[in-house]
Each structure stands twice: as C-alpha cells, then as structure tokens.
Structure 1
Amino acid sequence: MAKKIHLTGFMLFAPAPHMIMSWVYPREKIKYQWYEIEYWEHIAKTLERGKFDMFFFADGWAGGTSPIGVRYAIQFPNHDPVSLVAYLAATVKKLAFAVTMSTTFYAPYMLTRKLSTLDHITKGRIGWNIVSSIGAAEAHNFGMDSLPPHDERYDRADEYMEVCYKLWDSWDDDAMMMDMERGIFADPDKIHPLNFKGKWYKVEGPMTVIPSPQRRPYLFQARSSDRGREFAARHSECIFASAIGVAGMREFCEDIAARADRYGRNPKDIKIIWGAQPLVAPSESDARAKMHEIRARIPFEASLALMGGHFGIDLSKVDIDKPVGDIDAPGTKGMLDSYRKANPNVTFREIAKTYLSGSDDNPMVGTPKQVADCMQYLVEEGGGDGFQITPAFYAPDYFDELTDQLVPVIRRRGVLRTEYEGRTLRDYMTL
C-alpha cells in the first residue's frame, strides 16, 4: 500500500515567508495585500479546499535593524500570527492551524493559557511549534543582552515543557460540574495547584482555562541540531525538518527513531514533515522558466542577510569564499550542519546562491505529475510523512495553483485524503 502524504501550508504573517522577494508580483494580479485579512482568508479557504492538514505559521521577534532586511522585506515586518489564527479559525470549519511561540519570551503560564483558549476557539484544531528563539536581536527587544547559550535554551525548554504539561493536566476530566440544581460549578478537589519550583521556573497554578478539546495542543518542533533532535524526540508529536537528499532524510528519520526509543516512545508516533517549495506548470520547461524568473530577482546581498540571520552569524565579518569549516552557528545550528555534511568544503557564498530558494535541478519543479512522483519517491525512499509547503510567489495564487493542479494528481493515487477524518489536528495527523 502506498504511503499516505500529509500536506501543510507554511507562512509568516509577513510580506514574504522564506522565498525572498516573493512579495514582488504584477500589480494587476494582486487581489489583496499581505496585511489585509482577505489575503489570509483566501489562503485558508484554499488550503481547506485542498484538504491540507493545517496552516502553519512561523514567527520571530526581531527585524528592522538591518538596512538590507528593511529594503527587501526579509521576514520583516512580521505581524502576530496568534491573533490572526483566532480570526481565520472562524472562516474555515476543518482546516487546522499551528502557531510558533517561544519558550524564551513567553512565560509558560501565559503560553498555556493562550493555546488552551485557541484550542477552544478552533474546537481542537490548534498546534504549537515549540521554539527557543535563535537571534540576539530578538533578545534585545526583551531587555536581554543576548540569548542563553544554544544548549542551555533547550535545557530551559525541557523544564518549561514540564510546567506546561502540569498546567494542562491541572484539571481532572470531570472537575467541571456545572451543576445548576446545587449551584456547584466545579469540584475543588479535582483542580490541582502545581506549586512548581524548578531551576528556571516557579509557577503556582492551577490553569485558569478549562480543559480544551485536545487538552494540550498538537506539539511541533523544527530544529535539527543534536540537542534540538534530543528535545524533539522527547516532546514532539511532529517534526518540521530539512535534509539534503534521500540519504540525509533517511539518516534523520533513523536518528529520531533511535532517540524516541530511548525515551520509551514509539517512533511511529512522531511524524516528520519536510520543508518543500514545489512549483508546477503545464510543462517542465515552463515550470523551470518560472522558477528562474523568481530566483533571478533575489539580490545576493538579501540571500546572505537572510542566511546570516538564521545562522546567527554576521557574514560581513566572514570570508564567504572560504570553506565554512567548524564555524559556530548560535542560531539554526542544525541547518548549517546539514550543508557541511553534504559538502565539507562548502562556502557561505555557495549556500547563499540557493538558500531557501532551491537549486537549478530542484526535482519539485515540473509538471504536476513530475512533482507528485517526486513527493512519493521522497517519502517512500527517504522516510517521513509529508511536506510543509511554503510559497514561491504571491501566496493566494501559489496555493490556488497547487490545489487546482498538484493536489488532484496526488489524490488520484490514493495517498492524500479526500475528506477530513476526525475532529482535531491530532486526529488529522494520526489517523
């Protein structure tokens, strides 16, 4: 039996998600701008029409300090997706949502309260992408000189998760009685304070939100460093990953499975979805011409700026034509490691040429059949469970094209749902 494929839409509440300059589009084709609610409502309805699992929002707390970042809108400006999701959830009935919230900048009590409320609003269609943040610029916006060291951020996050679990579990299932006759709202013996005192957090509790449909959101994690993988194997229900080639995908899946097993978890309970940016057209030559046009408008300095921001490296102080070597990446450490593993002599210039924009021989550029073939091959040979798709150009039109051209091809092969089954995001990802 062919392996089922999960599809999710991935964006930031920003002019462009990952593809630099994807906000540049012929004015006569633009229906709504990225800052207008109709733009997002259109995308959500399109994703639901395509039976995508969810609309996934990345997020960040920095930007605007670099002239290059401002000039080209490199993940800046960046509005609050948590507020956006509360609106979008009312415009679609089945599509689920995931939001990125940082363990470094949200107090655990605030975060659990917001997510539990969102889980109620969405009727169980909410997920949390757990991040510990990556950039010093983010720290500066919160009165900090710098972020804690990379591995310490994960140590803190482990304790943070312990607090979250206890808060979400502080109400027994039958604690709320709503007994109108006796005038008893809830049984106080079934609502439990935490009185948690750890190395970094001190929380009394209990949670002030009643248990939500999922009780806790569906949990995502997106880092690929050694410490990040360990955290994901311990806590994540789904990992948003990237790898170079089938061998890299297989290595990642096997590594996560081994780590999960050490925590007493069934590796099959942890889904893995790969970052992807497919581009379809009636012919392969048309698709590649479209991709060439999209990539040609990306200034090299903009690609360097985005990459340096993700890695946490000031590339103006580095010789970008020398091999990367063992240079430390305080930001997305695992992503840089993946490039080094694929080519030990890779330079920052070489990485920047295709960073988050795809190479000239990107196999996900072609006809709908070619892209569907590639997707099936990757999950069957490399492993994982599907793809986190980010737009290469104006997002409403991009997702329309995929839903109208690519999705029907995948669905005819019996590897993509025809209808939503279950009620919650956790149902969608596990059924």
Structure 2
Amino acid sequence: MRANKKIHLTGFMLYGPAPHMIMSWVYPPEKMTAGKWYEIEYWTAIAKTLERGKFDMFFFADGWAGGVNDPSVKYAIQFPTHDPVTLLPYLAAVAPKLGLAVTMSTTFYEPYMVARKLSSLDHISKGRVGWNIVCSISSGEAKNFGMDELPPHELRYDRADEFMEVCYKLWDSWEPGAMLMDMERKIFADPAKVRKIDHVGKWFKCQGPLTVIPSPQGRPYLFQAGSSERGRDFAIKHADCIFAVGTGVKQMREFCDDIKTRADRAGRNPDEIKIIWGAQPLVADSESEARDRIKKIRARIPLEASLALMSGHFNTDLTRFDVDTPVSELAGLDVTGTKGMFETYSRQNPNITLRDIASSYLSGSDDNAMAGTPDQVADYMIHLIDEGGGDGFQITPAYYAPQFFEDIVDKLIPVLQKRGVFRSEYEGNTLRDYMTK
C-alpha cells in the first residue's frame, strides 16, 4: 500500500437479529456468550471488542419498514429493527474511544430534530458521532408514516438537499465564542453571536437558533451511500465519507474515478472524501475451515428469504417475476429503491437473473476471496485498496456478531497492524480525527 496510508475499518450492524447476511442470527444458543441481540450485553460486547481492535467506529444502519410479508417475518429479514439512536449514549459510555455512527432519514425526520439529536449525542460522546444521511427507499416506510407511496427518487434527493441546508444553518447558528458562561458578569452567552436562521424554503420552514450549544465536532461526521447518479451527486455535495459496494477491483476503480471526477467538477478536493467498501471477511485457522464455514452459512439461506431482502431493498415485489428470466427481459420490473445496488449487478452481467442475484445478494459466494486465513484475508484487503482504490472497509458479520467481531479483532487485526496498514492506537479524540488520519 501507499506509504503511510492506513485502512479504515467500521463495524456495521442493524439494531436487530441480522444486518445483511440472512440467517446470521442462527447460532447454537450455548455459544451465545454475550446474550441475544435485544439484550444490552450483546451490544456492549461488540462495542468493547471493536474498540479493543481500534476500529474507527460502530456504524448502525436503520429501517422503518419490514414485516409486511411472511418471509420477512419468518426469517427475520431486516425485521424487527429497534431504534439505534437509543443505543448510542450507552455505548459511548462503555466504549469511550470508539466512534459511533447512526442512520437518520431525511424523508421522515425533520431537520431541527436531527440537528438537535446529533449535536446532543456529539456532546455525550465527546465528539465521536457520525450521521449516515439516507433518503428512505421503502414504500413500507411511507405507509408507516401516513403516505401511500414515497415521493419520486429525484424529488427525495432534492428535498434532502434542502434538509441539509437547514441542518448546516442550525449547526452554525452559534458563532465561535458565543458561549461565555461568565460567572463574574453572570452572562451565559453573547446574544450578538447566537442568531435565528429564519429559513423559508420549498419544503422546510425553521426559525432557529439551535437549542444545543456547539458540539465538539461542530457538526457530525457525515456519511452517505447513494450509488445512483443522483445519489453520487448528493454524496459529493455533503458527505465526508461514502459507503459503496464493489464486486472487484475494476468496478471499485471505476467508482473511485467517477467520484474524483464529480468532486473536481464540484470544486471539492477528492482526497477529502473517504470511500469505504462493504465487506464480509471470514477468518479461520485454515483456508479449508473458512471455506467450509462460509458454505454452511450460505447453504442455510432459502431463496424466498433472499428474494424478500432484495424486494425490500429494491422496493418492488420480486416474487411476481420468473426468477430464471434475465432481469433485462422482465417487463414491469421497476426498481425504485436502491437503484445503484441493482445496477451494480445488472451492469456486471446483462443476462443475470433474479435467481443469480439472490444466490449471492449481500452474502457473497462460496469462493469468496475474503474468506481464509488471517494472512490471506489481509493480502486480499490490501490488494483491493491498492488496485481498486478507496480507504477501507465496512465490515458486517456473517454469524453471531459478538463472536464474529472477536474473530476479526483477535485474528485479522494483528496481521493488518504487523503489515503497517492499520492503527495500533487511536490518534486524536473525535470521529473526524480518526477518519482523517
């Protein structure tokens, strides 16, 4: 790797039974030494392990839909999901160095609420909070909030742009030096440096100022995962870090080059925008053991479970279609959810079928190159960054999360540290410090 460049690593979860790997909640009860997913001990164990491994952060995705069909309930397909915002204050206390990032939707939250919550969390964590900015993708979410359908894809992003404008104004409504807490003069803050924002726009109207004093980071570290054309432009405009999915070095390099081109065009320094790739490494003492384990994990995923997950992400009922017909020939297939994710598969192979996609959707393949001994996995991770570009990996568990992350920290992290590509100690105090080192 380039001299002095370090890989960034995040632990990725949902506050639910399983994040992305379907059926990852299935584990022998006697081995669940940290408890079950709905018990705080489970999350405490993961956070402490990630901090021990010097991960940049513990990152929480979120969703407000699910449970609308039998397979999603039967197999716990990103359902149920509890509110991850409620976890962060507790985890900030038990893991006092680890960064913490949470997903909040610009489609259903209000800007003032988001700005206030995140600034408060940044205080509680002493500057270790990040925000994953999303435009909701599921019609199920819309129906839970009194809407028949989501607004069109482009409109959701247009609204999100104004949402961010309001948040920025609120975070900046306290000027530097505004808070005095002058005990002798009995003056708390300088009124000349705390101002209303009086925002009146197409979608939002907000008076301000923010009722939270400036937080350690000023504003949270901002993440975004839009991979569609509009999503990429939104990410360039707002994100400090982009989460992306790449199926190989060619596609990764194309994505990085595209982001650089867009950043240059927008007047941003592309080196200031981190790119983190989704990854699901599996490490074991031998390659054969790792291969055997991943085959067993993937073999227990029913087709209907994978289709249910895809239906939720693509925001369309895929059970209506012949799963063995190329997706390019499926009349009526209208992906209104994660367009970029769908296009990742269809661009790679124009003749790909729904069955083909389902066989590896967010679960990889039996010959996953990121499964093997710690040295093999480290070699491959370094190869991907060297050849494909980007800055690190967002790691999601393939099995019982507390044990999975222990395996990563105990087996893989020491190898990465020995290679000089991963930190041995935290540098700085805030999440922004970690991500910019």
Q: For this structure pair, what is the TM-score category when the shorter chain's length is used for normalisation? A: over 0.9
* Distance across 2 between alignment mates of 1:28 and 1:190: 58
The equivalent of 2:255 in structure 1 is 252
SS in 2 for 1:155: helix
Q: Is the 8 A contact 1:3 1:380 kept in 2?
A: no
Q: Is the 8 A contact 2:274 2:390 kept in 1?
A: yes
Q: Is the 8 A contact 2:374 2:415 kept in 1?
A: yes
The equivalent of 1:346 in structure 2 is 352
Residue 393 of structure 2 is aligned to residue 387 of structure 1: yes
Measured after TM superposition, the shift of residue 322 of structure 1 is 1.4
Give 2:8's match in structure 1, choosing from 6, 9, 20: 6
Measured after TM superposition, the shift of residue 328 of structure 1 is 2.9
* Distance across 2 between alignment mates of 1:94 and 1:198: 39
Measured after TM superposition, the shift of residue 2 of structure 1 is 6.0
Q: Is the 8 A contact 2:307 2:319 kept in 1?
A: no
The equivalent of 1:430 in structure 2 is 436
Measured after TM superposition, the shift of residue 105 of structure 1 is 0.8
* Distance across 2 between alignment mates of 1:163 and 1:261: 25
Residue 53 of structure 2 is aligned to residue 50 of structure 1: yes
Matches within 5 A, 1:13-412: 13-31=15-33, 32-325=35-328, 327-412=333-418
* Distance across 2 between alignment mates of 1:79 and 1:368: 33
* Distance across 2 between alignment mates of 1:165 and 1:260: 20
Q: Is the 8 A contact 2:298 2:366 kept in 1?
A: no
Q: Which amino acid aligns with 1:21?
A: M
Q: Which amino acid aligns with 2:399?
A: F
Q: Is the 8 A contact 1:193 1:205 kept in 2?
A: yes
* Distance across 2 between alignment mates of 1:318 and 1:198: 42
Structure 2 gaps of 5+ residues are none
- Count residues with an aligned counterpart: 431
SS in 1 for 2:94: coil
SS in 2 for 1:15: coil
For each residue in 1:295-334, what CA deviation from the matched residue of structure 2 results, as whole angstroms up to 9, or x when unmatched? 1111110001001110111112222211112843100000
* Distance across 2 between alignment mates of 1:48 and 1:402: 12
Measured after TM superposition, the shift of residue 341 of structure 1 is 1.1
* Distance across 1 between alignment mates of 2:302 and 2:226: 27
* Distance across 1 between alignment mates of 2:138 and 2:360: 22
Measured after TM superposition, the shift of residue 384 of structure 1 is 0.3
Q: Is the 8 A contact 1:3 1:379 kept in 2?
A: no
Deviates more, 1:64-73 or 1:213-222: 64-73
Q: Which amino acid aligns with 1:235?
A: H
Tell me how large the CA RMSD over aligned residues is. 0.9
For each residue in 1:261-310, what CA deviation from the matched residue of structure 2 results, as whole angstroms up to 9, or x when unmatched? 11111000000000000001111111000001111111110001001110
For each residue in 1:228-253, what CA deviation from the matched residue of structure 2 results, as whole angstroms up to 9, or x when unmatched? 00100111000010012111000100
* Alpha-carbon spacing, 1:428–1:142, altered in 2? closer, same or farther (3 Å): same
* Distance across 2 between alignment mates of 1:427 and 1:154: 29
For each residue in 1:181-215, what CA deviation from the matched residue of structure 2 results, as whole angstroms up to 9, or x when unmatched? 11111111101111111111111111000000001
Q: Which amino acid aligns with 2:168?
A: Y
* Distance across 2 between alignment mates of 1:152 and 1:324: 26
Q: Which amino acid aligns with 1:302?
A: A
SS in 2 for 1:232: helix
Structure 1 gaps of 5+ residues are none
For each residue in 1:343-395, what CA deviation from the matched residue of structure 2 results, as whole angstroms up to 9, or x when unmatched? 01111110001111111221001110000000000001000000000000000
* Distance across 2 between alignment mates of 1:358 and 1:116: 37
* Distance across 2 between alignment mates of 1:188 and 1:129: 32
For each residue in 1:379-414, what CA deviation from the matched residue of structure 2 results, as whole angstroms up to 9, or x when unmatched? 010000000000000000000001000110011000
SS in 2 for 1:89: helix
TM-score by length of 1: 0.99
* Distance across 2 between alignment mates of 1:138 and 1:86: 26
Measured after TM superposition, the shift of residue 224 of structure 1 is 0.5
* Distance across 1 between alignment mates of 2:173 and 2:138: 33
SS in 2 for 1:157: helix
Indicate the percent of aligned positions where both proteins have the same amino acid. 69
* Distance across 2 between alignment mates of 1:190 and 1:258: 38
Residue 421 of structure 2 is aligned to residue 415 of structure 1: yes
Q: Is the 8 A contact 2:178 2:193 kept in 1?
A: yes
SS in 1 for 2:393: strand
Measured after TM superposition, the shift of residue 3 of structure 1 is 3.3
Q: Is the 8 A contact 1:50 1:407 kept in 2?
A: yes
For each residue in 1:147-194, what CA deviation from the matched residue of structure 2 results, as whole angstroms up to 9, or x when unmatched? 110111101001111111000000001111111111111111101111
SS in 2 for 1:275: strand
SS in 2 for 1:325: helix
Deviates more, 1:25-34 or 1:368-377: 25-34
